[in-house]
Amino acid sequence: MATLRDVKKRIKTVVSTRRITSAMEMVAASKLRRAQQKIEQTRPYSQKMDEMLQHLAAGSSGDISHPYFAQREPKKKTLVLVTSDRGLCGSFNSNVIRRAVNWLREEGLPEVEIVTVGKKGNDLLKSRQWEIINNYSDWGGQLIYGKARDLVDFLTQRFVAGETDSIHLIYTQFISTVKYKIVVEPYLPLTRPKSGEKAGMRSQYIFEPTPESIYESLMPGYALTKMVTVLVDSFAAEHGSRMIAMGNATSNAGEMVDDLTLLYNKTRQAQITKELLEVISGADALK
C-alpha cells in the first residue's frame, strides 16, 4: 500500500504536469488563431488566382503551352509529405504518415522519391525503403515564405528538368477547430485550363502583350500560392490538434488529481484509525 508521502508526491507531480499542459493548450490556441487568420488571407488569394488563370485561358487564341502542363508517362513520382516539427499533437502526424505509406504501397513504383516537410515525417520514413531526397524542417509552426519558395523552386526545377514525371502532395487540410481531413492531391503537372469558347467564358479583357506571355509570368506565382495554401492549412491543423491534445491531457490530469486526493484521504484516515486502535489497545493492556 502506498504511503502518504508517496501519494502526496504523485499529487504534486500531476499538478505540475497539469500546469504545463494547460499552458501548452493556451499557447496552441493563440497560435491557432493566428494560423486561422493566415488561412483567411491565403484562400481568397488562391481562389482569385485560379479565376484569373481561367480568364486568361478564355482570352487566349489557342492551347497554352507551359512546362508545368507537360504530361509524361509516370516512370518516376515524387511525394511531398507535410508533417510537424514537434510532437504532442495527438494523432496529427501518425494519420498523415499512415496515409502516405498506404499511398506509396498502392503506387507500387520502384522509382518513388520523397520530399518531407517537418521533422516527424523525415524521422519515421528515413529508415524505410523509399528515398528521401530533401527535407524542409524548423518551421516553428508558422509559414516562412523564403523556405516555401525554396521548396517550390526545388520541386518545379526537378519537374521541368524531367527528373520526376509527377509530384503529389499529402497534407492535413484544416476545416474547423475540431475537424481536419487528410488530402492527397497532384501538384505537378497542372491540369491544363480550357481556352477560348471551351472555357465557357467570354473574353472581356485586353491583354498586353499576350495572354500566353502573362500566363508564363504568373505560373511560378501560382505554384507558390498553391504550396503556401497547403502549408498554412497544415500548420493550422497542427495547432488545433495540439490544443485538443493538451486540453484532453489537462482534463485527464485533473481527474487523476481527484483520484489521488481521494486515495490520500483514505490512506490518511486508515493511518489515523490504526493509531487510535493502537492507543486503545495499549490503554486496555495497562488496566
Query: For the segment 212-251, what is each residue's pLDDT rounded down to a tens digit?
Result: 677 778 888 889 999 999 999 999 999 999 999 999 999 9
C-beta of residue 260 within 8 angstroms of C-beta of residue 10: yes
Instruction: Give yes or no for residue 191 having a pLDDT over 80.
Output: no
Which is nearest to 199 in space by CA: 27, 44, 52? 52
* Residue 264 covered by a domain: no
pLDDT at 200 over 60: no
Check residue 62 and give its pLDDT.
58
- Kindly state the average pLDDT of the residues 62-68: 72
What is the distance, to the nearest Å, from the Cα of residue 226 to the centroid of all Cα atoms in its chain?
15
Number of separate domains in the chain: 1
77-99: average pLDDT:
93
In whole angstroms, give the CA distance from residue 172 to residue 184: 9
Q: How many CA atoms lie within 13 A of 127 on its CB side?
A: 3
217 lies in some domain: yes
- Residue at 14 is within a domain: no
Residue 35's CATH number: 3.40.1380.10
Residues ≥6 apart with Cβ < 8 Å to 173? 180, 181, 182, 183, 233, 234, 237
Domain assignment present for residue 106? The answer is yes
Separation in Å, CA 57 to CA 149, 190, 195: 25, 14, 4
Task: Say if 128 falls within a structural domain.
Answer: yes
Average pLDDT in the 137-166 region? 93
User: Which domain range does residue 181 map to?
Assistant: 27-243
Cα–Cα dist 215/204, whole Å: 16
Rounded Cα distance, 203 and 74, in Å: 35
pLDDT in tens, 132-147: 999 999 998 899 999 9
pLDDT tens digits, one per residue of 5-62: 888 999 999 999 999 999 999 999 999 999 999 998 888 888 888 777 777 766 665 5
The three state secondary structure string of the chain is CCCHHHHHHHHHHHHHHHHHHHHHHHHHHHHHHHHHHHHHHHHHHHHHHHHHHHHHHHHCCCCCCCHHHCCCCCCCEEEEEECCCCCCCCCHHHHHHHHHHHHHHHHCCCCEEEEEECHHHHHHHCCCCCEEEEEECCCCCCCCHHHHHHHHHHHHHHHHCCCCCEEEEEEEEEEECCEEEEEEEEEECCCCCCCHHHHCCCCCCCCCCCHHHHHHHHHHHHHHHHHHHHHHHHHHHHHHHHHHHHHHHHHHHHHHHHHHHHHHHHHHHHHHHHHHHHHHHHHHHHC
Count of beta carbons in the 10 Å neighbourhood of residue 82: 26
Q: Provide the pLDDT for residue 211.
A: 66
CB 116 within 8 A of CB 136: yes
Q: In what order do the strands lie in the sheet with 77-82?
A: 131-136, 112-117, 77-82, 166-176, 179-188
pLDDT for 64 equals 65
